[in-house]
């Protein structure tokens, strides 16, 4: 037997050598699926199958490259180089270029990226004189993309009464026209976007049977990686191409299907047996990566899903440590506790920072961990997204803040002068810059003297520049009269930035709005911490900008040092593995997401996402959650995620808290501290921080809602953080009304009532 086959387990070897007919390889996390796929292709080649008769489809270029390198070590570089192997998009681009004339394209057609597509759609919206606040290019593009992934051409879209009715209900009845014009412009320019590469491949095979037959004959063996992530368009291409020889092998794991928002359909893998009744099923159930405890814990959760292919993953590795459950008082404390635990790990186990990963559900959560890691001088790297403070929407808002504090900041001026759009174009800016250069002034100063230089810019443009200048002046009046949170919220709101983001209902738009919310949460925390430190005067924009300047400073790392903690979303972590993994923010409405808990199918995908997160860990996993988290600057009580309860308790080393889970109670600390003082205490400790509970609801008393304007001295009140207290004094009016409250456990606090969310206590 060939030496490479000796490296395989019995079930892996069987999956590699059974080459004829349809096969489904269910590969649990860490079970060596890449090895099986690689060796199966190599085995085909050693049996004499020509490399150009093998089609292997992956989802990343990296995966294709690594597999081809492994195959080359077995069969040689020359043979491996002739394989048709790559991503769906790269392989079918090659086919489309070969057959481009049949579809009316030049073989050197351009491939538009997302920015190209958005720009073209924006141009069409402008030409049609549509409201750009209703027809946002990103949202329109998402709608068109969804249609294409379901093989709905612009002609079919225009004839679909159901789709048009849905667009009309959402006040976007002109998407049909936009889609049609977009497709026509792409055709005229001989350009395709990424979705077109799959859509047009389907059109090619549908309209030209001879072409389909040619490629059916060519590809005698077809292999597909990550089959659970295929969309309908990809599924249909694979189904058509494999009809002649039926030697189709798909590899994947239904338990790791987590990309429905991109159009992936778990039904493709679940229904494989219906498409190919004579299929062979191979289950790779041994996890070579993780400890027995981690695998068993993941099994106990994923077992709750109804839609799945039955399997039982197992590990022959060591039993390993139980999962550590960490309860934080606030989300800020969660970040610090994770950073402290990382320092302890590195000190105790002598592991590298690169052995550790912090995973979260949404990109907005990264800010908490970035700040905590920076403060402890822990090197880190953000994966799959920009650093929090490098994201466009954050940089846009920071530019407004910078310009408010220092109006001569030309870079900030240029960034926001036409965002949100206010009709100040490139030509106007070019003329303004030229005049500024002549006068030796900043752009801001030049706007102030435009009246002395008539004709430099057109009158309407000059008026808009003056309106923008007045807008910034109005912001400047808030610098020392409002605290930083109030001022930044006003800037984001009055500038139109918030309404612009709120109007974009695409996944990208929602994520950007969440990031702005998280930035505002950080400002509120900064203010509270300064007050806890004894700062009595108003914490202003200047104070905040000075603080954030260090956090947004450019890293000096140039890529040589890879010894960094990996920080990323769970979606970005799929396919990766780490010795130690922190699963953070395990709270209801965060993980699982609030957008998924009302749909059984969506909730099952969230559970699969949690399964993916947990199985990234090889040696030890940590799960963290906060008892209170800021939402738009207001502290909000959080409920621990149902996924924590679904883990068999024998695999968790911290007993569940009675108040949090309604189960086994834990010992409660005697003193309840305020978040700022507790945070400073933790900062001074070198060991892992102790966990602090939320304030418990007073017994034998009733909590009643009360408006901030109705709160008066002498009232007994309850605060979600500080517990029970008595109002000692009240001052101010309206949104600036403040109260001094003496809490039984937390001491005296000064609270801004519109954010305090106090409840009235009655016997």
* Residues that are catalytic: 33-34, 225-226, 256, 616
- CA 161 distance to own-chain centroid: 34
Query: How deeply is 470 buried, as exposed, middle or buried, from its count of CB atoms within 10 A (0-12, 13-18, 19+)?
Result: exposed
Residues 6+ apart with CB under 8 A from 622: 323, 324, 325, 326, 338, 341, 580, 581, 582, 583
> Could you tell me the two tokens for 733?
């009016």
Phi first, then psi, for residue 413 (nearest 5°) are -60, -50
In angstroms, the CA 142 to CA 506 distance is: 7
CB atoms within 10 A of CB 63: 19
Q: Which residue has the tokens 């068993």?
A: 296
Beta strands in 311-428 (DSSP E): 314-315, 324-328, 356-360, 380-382
Torsion of CA 470, 473, 475, 479, to 10 degrees: 180
Strand 221-224 versus strand 248-252 pairing type: parallel
Query: How deeply is 656 buried, as exposed, middle or buried, from its count of CB atoms within 10 A (0-12, 13-18, 19+)?
Result: buried
CB atoms within 10 A of CB 48: 6
Residues 6+ apart with CB under 8 A from 278: 21, 22
CB 200 within 8 Å of CB 192: yes
In angstroms, the CA 455 to CA 434 distance is: 13
In angstroms, the CA 412 to CA 302 distance is: 48
In angstroms, the CA 138 to CA 140 distance is: 6
In angstroms, the CA 45 to CA 743 distance is: 75
Alpha helices in 281-330 (DSSP H): 292-302
Phi first, then psi, for residue 111 (nearest 5°) are -110, 115
Phi first, then psi, for residue 740 (nearest 5°) are -100, 120
In angstroms, the CA 566 to CA 573 distance is: 9
> Could you tell me the two tokens for 702?
């009733």
Q: Which residue has the tokens 């220092």?
A: 406
In angstroms, the CA 544 to CA 540 distance is: 6
Residues 6+ apart with CB under 8 A from 524: 485, 630, 633, 634, 755
In angstroms, the CA 256 to CA 26 distance is: 11
CB 432 within 8 Å of CB 465: yes
Strand partners, 724: 718
Q: Which residue has the tokens 């039955």?
A: 310
- CA 561 distance to own-chain centroid: 25
Alpha helices in 497-651 (DSSP H): 497-502, 507-532, 541-551, 570-573, 600-614, 642-646
In angstroms, the CA 248 to CA 139 distance is: 36
Q: Which residue has the tokens 């892996």?
A: 12
CB 377 within 8 Å of CB 556: no
Cis? peptide before 592, omega within 30° of 0: yes
Give how far Cα 608 sits from Cα of 50, 307, 489, Å.
38, 11, 37
- CA 445 distance to own-chain centroid: 40
């Amino acid at each position: 037997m060939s030496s490479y086959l000796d490296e395989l387990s019995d079930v892996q070897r069987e999956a590699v050598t059974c080459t004829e007919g349809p096969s489904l390889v269910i590969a649990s996390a860490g079970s060596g699926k890449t090895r099986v796929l690689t060796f199966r292709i190599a085995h085909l080649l050693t049996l004499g199958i020509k490399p150009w008769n093998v089609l292997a489809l992956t989802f990343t270029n990296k995966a294709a490259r690594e597999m081809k390198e492994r195959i080359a070590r077995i069969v040689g570089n020359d043979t491996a180089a002739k394989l048709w192997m790559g991503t769906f998009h790269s392989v079918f681009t090659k086919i489309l270029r070969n057959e481009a004339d049949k579809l009316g394209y030049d073989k050197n057609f351009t491939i538009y990226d997302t920015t190209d597509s958005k720009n073209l759609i924006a141009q069409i919206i402008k030409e049609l004189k549509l409201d750009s606040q209703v027809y946002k290019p990103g949202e329109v593009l998402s709608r068109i993309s969804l249609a294409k992934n379901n093989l709905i051409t612009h002609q079919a879209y225009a004839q679909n009464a159901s789709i048009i009715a849905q667009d009309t209900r959402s006040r976007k009845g002109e998407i049909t026209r936009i889609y049609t014009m977009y497709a026509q412009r792409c055709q005229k320019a001989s350009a395709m976007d990424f979705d077109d590469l799959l859509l047009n491949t389907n059109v090619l095979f549908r309209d030209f049977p001879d072409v389909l037959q040619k490629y059916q004959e060519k590809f005698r063996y077809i292999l597909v990686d990550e089959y659970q992530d295929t969309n309908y368009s990809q599924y249909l291409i694979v189904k058509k191409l494999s009809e002649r020889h039926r030697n189709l092998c798909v590899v994947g794991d239904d338990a790791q299907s987590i990309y429905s928002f991109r159009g992936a359909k778990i039904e493709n893998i679940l229904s494989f047996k219906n498409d190919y009744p004579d299929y062979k099923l191979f289950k790779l159930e041994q996890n070579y990566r993780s400890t027995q405890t981690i695998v068993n814990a993941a099994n106990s959760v994923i077992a709750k899903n109804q839609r799945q292919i039955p399997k039982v993953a197992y590990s022959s590795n060591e039993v390993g440590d139980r999962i550590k459950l960490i309860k934080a008082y606030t989300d800020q404390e969660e970040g610090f506790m994770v950073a402290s635990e990382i320092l302890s790990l590195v000190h105790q186990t002598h592991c590298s920072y690169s052995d550790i990963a912090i995973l979260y559900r949404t990109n907005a959560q990264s800010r908490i961990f970035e700040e905590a890691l920076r403060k402890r001088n822990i090197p880190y790297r953000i994966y799959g997204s920009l650093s929090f403070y490098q994201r466009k929407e954050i940089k846009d808002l920071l530019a407004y803040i910078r310009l408010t504090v220092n109006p001569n900041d030309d870079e900030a001026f240029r960034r926001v002068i036409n965002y949100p759009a206010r009709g100040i174009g490139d030509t106007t800016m070019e003329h303004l810059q030229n005049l500024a250069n002549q006068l030796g002034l900043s752009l801001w100063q030049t706007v102030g003297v435009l009246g002395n230089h008539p004709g430099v810019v057109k009158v309407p443009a000059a008026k808009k520049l003056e309106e923008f200048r007045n807008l910034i002046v109005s912001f400047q009046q808030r610098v020392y009269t409002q605290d930083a949170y109030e001022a930044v919220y006003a800037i984001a709101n009055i500038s139109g930035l918030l309404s612009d983001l709120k109007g974009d209902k695409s996944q990208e738009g929602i994520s950007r709005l969440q990031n702005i919310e998280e930035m505002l949460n950080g400002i509120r925390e900064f203010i509270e911490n300064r007050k806890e430190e004894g700062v009595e005067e108003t914490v202003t924009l200047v104070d905040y900008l000075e603080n954030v300047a260090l956090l947004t400073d450019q890293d000096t790392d140039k890529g040589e040092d890879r010894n960094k903690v990996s920080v990323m979303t769970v979606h970005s972590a799929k396919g990766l593995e780490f010795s130690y993994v922190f699963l953070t923010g395990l709270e209801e409405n965060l993980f699982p997401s609030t957008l998924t808990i009302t749909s059984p199918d969506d909730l099952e995908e969230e559970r699969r996402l949690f399964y993916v997160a947990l199985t990234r860990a090889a040696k030890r996993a940590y799960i963290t959650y906060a008892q209170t988290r800021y939402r738009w600057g207001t502290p909000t009580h959080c409920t621990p995620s149902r996924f924590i309860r679904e883990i068999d308790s024998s695999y968790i080393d911290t007993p569940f808290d009675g108040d949090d889970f309604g189960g086994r109670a834990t010992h409660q600390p005697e003193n309840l501290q305020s978040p700022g003082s507790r945070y400073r205490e933790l900062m001074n400790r070198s060991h892992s921080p102790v966990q602090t509970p939320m304030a418990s609801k007073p017994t034998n008393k009733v909590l009643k809602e009360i408006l901030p304007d109705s709160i008066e001295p002498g009232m007994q009140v309850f605060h979600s953080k500080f517990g029970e207290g008595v109002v000692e004094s009240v001052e101010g009016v309206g949104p600036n009304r403040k109260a001094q409250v003496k809490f039984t456990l937390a001491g005296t606090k000064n609270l801004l009532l519109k954010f305090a969310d106090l409840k009235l206590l009655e016997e």
